[in-house]
Amino acid sequence: MKVRKAVIPAAGLGTRFLPATKAMAKEMLPIVDKPTIQFIVEEALASGIEDILIVTGKSKRPIEDHFDANVELESNLKSKNKTDLLKLVEETTGIRLFFVRQSYPKGLGDAVLHARSFVGNEPFVVMLGDDLMQSEVPLTKQLMDNYEQTSASTIAVMQVPHEDTSKYGIIDPEALIDDTTYSVKHFVEKPSPEKAPSDLAIIGRYLLTPQIFDILENQEPGAGNEIQLTDAIETLNKTQRVFAKRFEGIRHDVGDKFGFLKTSIEYGLEHPEVKDNLKPYLYQLVEEMKASDARNDNTND
């Protein structure tokens, strides 16, 4: 069966970005000029996904407005002949998007369960908004290609520093099936470095069979007292094979302040409107910091 549907959980409170996220969806925070959620939607479309469900919550209305037409703005830009800007504004309309609200933040597993009637009895992908992926073939497409061959669930993973295992779902790999695909013994949510079975972390792209919903329905809260998708995947893996695919591209974690800043700089260095100014500015900044460090060293001597 062809994979046609994607689910983007976007109900999180965004506490890592307070106060910016007090009244604003963290998914609308822009990397240079594009809201992070637009990168995710673009990856879905580039992978061949047809229908997208965004699971939202409080303060998330701007996400719906962002992907809707803005007639006033469009006619204003048209009358001023600003065709480039008009193109940017129109790019985010006409996408088959659906919305459902998660009223209580009970965890990622619960957010995904809200997609049950949208997904029905089809395989689907889950795409988390905190991870922006760069690769020749979009990661979501790679998972969909895997499904075409295996008819099985596949979870994207990547090596992370050992001390960071408690931030992620971690897999206990069993065997390599091909260059980048593992069969998996266990999926463990946020283990401490002492308990982590490997350094291979789940990175926010999942291809799942619909059987996951029966499991999520009865899933007890796990790490952080939340209903964890990883725990449901661990159970699914007992009755159906669940593979892990190692991602070989670049992952930008925009889920915390430092990652967000780094990504903004890296994308800025590629952005046609700012790259020519940003690069010399960064060089200048580095020189100034070096000079300032040298002055401090001298004073401390």
Binding site for ligand G1P (CB under 6 A): 108, 128, 130-131, 168-169, 189, 201-204, 228-230, 255
No. of helices (H) and no. of strands (E), the chain: 11, 13
Closest CB to ligand G1P among 110 and 130?
A: 130
Closest CB to ligand G1P among 3 and 244?
A: 244
Residue 267 CB, nearest distance to ligand G1P (Å)?
19
Residue 84 CB, nearest distance to ligand G1P (Å)?
34
Residue 130 CB, nearest distance to ligand G1P (Å)?
5
Q: Which residues contact 4 (CB under 8 A, 6 or more apart)?
A: 49, 50, 51, 122, 124
Q: Provide the β-strand partners of residue 5.
A: 51, 124
Nearest CA to 91 out of 105, 70, 120, 109 is that of 70
- What does the alpha-carbon distance between residue 22 and residue 255 come to, in Å, rounded to a whole number? 16
Closest CB to ligand G1P among 11 and 97?
A: 11
The burial class, CB within 10 Å (0-12 / 13-18 / 19+), for 36 is buried
Residue 214 CB, nearest distance to ligand G1P (Å)?
20
Residue 171 CB, nearest distance to ligand G1P (Å)?
10
Question: Hey, what are 95's tokens?
Answer: 């996408």
Closest CB to ligand G1P among 70 and 135?
A: 135
Instruction: Compute the Cα dihedral for 4, 9, 10, 11 and give only its sign.
Output: positive
Closest CB to ligand G1P among 258 and 299?
A: 258
Residue 265 CB, nearest distance to ligand G1P (Å)?
21
Shortest-Cβ-distance residue relative to ligand G1P:
169
Backbone angles phi, psi at 250, to 5 degrees: -105, 135
End-to-end CA distance of the chain: 70
- What does the alpha-carbon distance between residue 36 and residue 296 come to, in Å, rounded to a whole number? 39
Cβ count near 21 (within 10 Å): 18
Closest CB to ligand G1P among 92 and 168?
A: 168
Residue 258 CB, nearest distance to ligand G1P (Å)?
15
Backbone angles phi, psi at 248, to 5 degrees: -105, 0
The 10 Å CB-count burial string (b at 16+, else e) for 142-178 is: bbbbbbeeeebbbbbbbebeeeebeebbbbbbeeeee
Residue 12 CB, nearest distance to ligand G1P (Å)?
7
Closest CB to ligand G1P among 53 and 201?
A: 201
Closest CB to ligand G1P among 3 and 128?
A: 128
Q: Provide the β-strand partners of residue 101.
A: 56
